[in-house]
Structure 1
Amino acid sequence: MKKLIIDFDSTLVKIETLDKLAELALAENENKDEIVEEIKRITEMGMNGEITFPESLERRISLINTHKDIVESLARLIKEELSDSVLDNLDFFMKNRNDIFIISGGFKDLIFPTAEILGVYPKNILANDFVFDENGVLAGVDKENLMAKENGKVNQLKELNLSGELIMVGDGWTDYQVREFGVADKFIAYTENVSREKVVRKADIVVDNFNEVIGYFYKK
């Protein structure tokens, strides 16, 4: 039995959620454009494997001064950002929900509402946790969460110890690493929203829409 392990940002949805959070959180900041561009630059460095994920995460979060209310507002907006070919295949997700997992360096607070549309079980969502202070201000991330650490996706999936053929689907370097470390049997580079040459070169399969992922999932 095959299992799909799917990235969230720029794969299931069209956007990078932390970049979008920065745009909302810094809307009134006179240096918004410069800070958002720096966050996007750090995101790309991490996605291309130029810096470690924990470094990427810490540097970006340190630049975002925000509140739980804004996080919740963004979570509602993200539901409108499903990738086109994913939106066309909601029935596939519902039908195969026992064999579909979301793994993301993003945050559960931002992922859960959209995952609910897809029918993905909360227990099948592996992602980071925001930490807020008593006033609801973003204070950081839960550093004890495996996903906040180096090789988080790899180690989280090792801990799950899933059976069957594991297919990792994503657009970034940390998605490829799941295959590199032998946890996934196949890595599908997903390019509907963004194509990263360094990642594509490492892929077993390259697709530009979710129909092709479904085709491989059902292939005997």
Structure 2
Amino acid sequence: MRVLGVGHRKYRQKGLAVVGGSRRSTRGRWRRRCDASAGDVPPPPPPAPSSSSRARVLDTWRRAQAVCFDVDCTVCKDDSLDALAGFLGKSEEVEAWTTKAMDGSTSLLKSLEERMRILDPSPSDVRAYLETAPARERLCEGVEELVGALHERGVAVYLISGGFREMAIPVARALGVESKNVYANRMLFTSDDETGLPTKFAGFDRSEPTCRQGGKPQVIRELRKIHPYETVVMVGDGITDLEAASEADGA
């Protein structure tokens, strides 16, 4: 099997990403590209790939039987938890923990724990945020066309996110991706004794592999046990996506 990791040291080019660069400071560089997409500053032009590397990438895309997309700052222009934090007025604290996870100074699980502790979102908070940030408006330019073209070719499309299903499922619907093809974390809520309705945040499901390092490659390995994919493409912007590409390649 051959796995192509796309997105490390990512540059936006018609909504797609090209590969290259070092592991360190990946998130910071991509965050600047995300900010630039909102109109702050124009991103620098992408480096010109060599003809051989371009041919190799195109050949891999042509042979791909499954494509796995990260969601935050890959399929979408923003990081969903950072965006939720902005909606709740808690941006600074949450983004600090996001950065720590992406630059490797703390574990993904610890960062997720701290961000969710700070956010402490109720179900109504999540619903209100989603109403103000429709999934289709958050999509990167060109991603709908890309996913549509993959579906037309019969290529399986998956969303594998270190974020939460509550935010990823609307994105999947906007792209025509089935909810069963979404792998992400799950929020847990306590229910009101009188109504039985969820009312208060109670943590997240730690059995989901996407809440920790090594989770994305684990998802790809599990997919390969179910489906005989020979060529899988992983598209993402962070270290966890690089993990998925390199580890799955050896799986």
Range class of TM-score, shorter chain = 0.7 to 0.9
State the AA in 2 paired with 1:152.
G
**Does 1:176 find its partner at 2:242?**
yes
Hey, what does 1:62 align to over in structure 2? 117
State the Cα distance separating 1:114 from its structure 2 match.
1.7
Hey, what does 1:10 align to over in structure 2? 73
1:89–1:73 CA distance, 2 compared to 1 (3 A)? farther
Hey, what does 1:140 align to over in structure 2? 203
Distance between the aligned counterparts of 1:184 and 1:74, measured in 2? 37
Alignment of 1:1-220 (within 5 A): 1-2=63-64, 3-26=66-89, 32=90, 36-76=91-131, 77-79=133-135, 80-89=137-146, 91-92=148-149, 94-96=151-153, 98-135=155-192, 136-161=199-224, 162=227, 163-181=229-247, 183-184=248-249
State the Cα distance separating 1:117 from its structure 2 match.
1.4
Larger radius of gyration: 2
1:90–1:101 CA distance, 2 compared to 1 (3 A)? closer
Conserved 8 A contact 2:67-2:155: no
1:106-150: CA deviation from partner (whole Å, max 9, x where unpaired): 111111112111111111111000001114221110112222233
State the Cα distance separating 1:153 from its structure 2 match.
0.9
Normalized against structure 1, the TM-score is what?
A: 0.73
State the Cα distance separating 1:82 from its structure 2 match.
0.5
Sequence identity, in percent?
Answer: 29
Of 71-80 and 98-107, the range deviating more from structure 2: 71-80
1:157–1:170 CA distance, 2 compared to 1 (3 A)? same
1:107–1:97 CA distance, 2 compared to 1 (3 A)? farther
State the AA in 2 paired with 1:22.
A
State the AA in 2 paired with 1:62.
R
Distance between the aligned counterparts of 2:242 and 2:146, measured in 1? 24
Gaps of 5+ in 2: 1-62, 193-198
Distance between the aligned counterparts of 1:25 and 1:155, measured in 2? 32
State the Cα distance separating 1:74 from its structure 2 match.
2.5
State the AA in 1 paired with 2:72.
D
Normalized against structure 2, the TM-score is what?
A: 0.64
Distance between the aligned counterparts of 1:114 and 1:90, measured in 2? 12
State the AA in 2 paired with 1:109.
E
1:47-97: CA deviation from partner (whole Å, max 9, x where unpaired): 233322111111111111221012123334141211112245463254257
Distance between the aligned counterparts of 2:153 and 2:177, measured in 1? 9
1:163-220: CA deviation from partner (whole Å, max 9, x where unpaired): 1211110011100001232x048xxxxxxxxxxxxxxxxxxxxxxxxxxxxxxxxxxx
Of 51-60 and 8-17, the range deviating more from structure 2: 51-60
Conserved 8 A contact 1:94-1:118: no
Distance between the aligned counterparts of 1:71 and 1:153, measured in 2? 24
Hey, what does 1:208 align to over in structure 2? none
Conserved 8 A contact 1:13-1:81: yes
1:58–1:96 CA distance, 2 compared to 1 (3 A)? farther
Conserved 8 A contact 1:75-1:111: no
Gaps of 5+ in 1: 27-31, 186-220
Distance between the aligned counterparts of 1:177 and 1:90, measured in 2? 23
